[in-house]
Amino acid sequence: MFPFKTDESIAFVPVTFAVLAVSDTRTLETDTSGALLKELIEGDGHRCFDRQVVKDDREAIADQVRKWVDAPDIDVVLTTGGTGFSGRDVTPDAIEPMFDKRMEGFSVLFHQYSATKIGTSTIQSRATAGLIGSTFVFCLPGSRGACRDAWEAILTHQFDSRHMPCNFIEVMPRLNE
């Protein structure tokens, strides 16, 4: 659906991710979406610095993300879960106030791609992304399918230094300007 080109003459640059599952019912052992994201990250040659699970609680979510944003070795934080409309779905509410810059394009592309898979049901997600300091933060739905779609349709390309015409790797050195 989304055209892309890879310039194999450019060196691949791995980046470091942290993955946070937001759930009242899952544990690290039963969190299949976070495990899938870790597998996809590492399968593409990147590093997964840490993976955690927190309850659907604004403070717990914000505290963990803040901890990772403050860690100099983490470039990207991916959250999975808590992006819907139930009363306990508070991930975007916890994270969006921390954004220094919002990434509206991520939500648009995610919903465009998601609609090809699940039709109008995509509107039930509040997937969002932005920049906190110099750390990219993406809030993904909790389903394995949505996590796979976000990774394979968008994130794998934007975090590949060989992706053309541009990618996040190119701008990372200038994020603190």
Is 4 contained in some domain? no
Is 1 contained in some domain? no
Is 5 contained in some domain? no
Is 119 contained in some domain? yes
* Phi, psi dihedral angles at 172 (to 5 degrees): -55, -40
Is 46 contained in some domain? yes
Per-residue pLDDT at 1 exceeds 70: no
Is 148 contained in some domain? yes
How many structural domains are present in the chain?
A: 1
Is 177 contained in some domain? no
Is 125 contained in some domain? yes
The CA distance from 137 to 129, in Å, is 6
What's the chain's average pLDDT? 96
Residues of the domain holding 39: 12-171
**What are the pLDDT digits (tens) for 71-97?**
999 999 999 999 999 999 999 999 999
**What are the pLDDT digits (tens) for 93-116?**
999 999 999 999 999 999 999 999
**What are the pLDDT digits (tens) for 126-143?**
999 999 999 999 999 999
The CATH code of the domain that includes 129 is 3.40.980.10
Q: Output the pLDDT for position 150.
A: 97
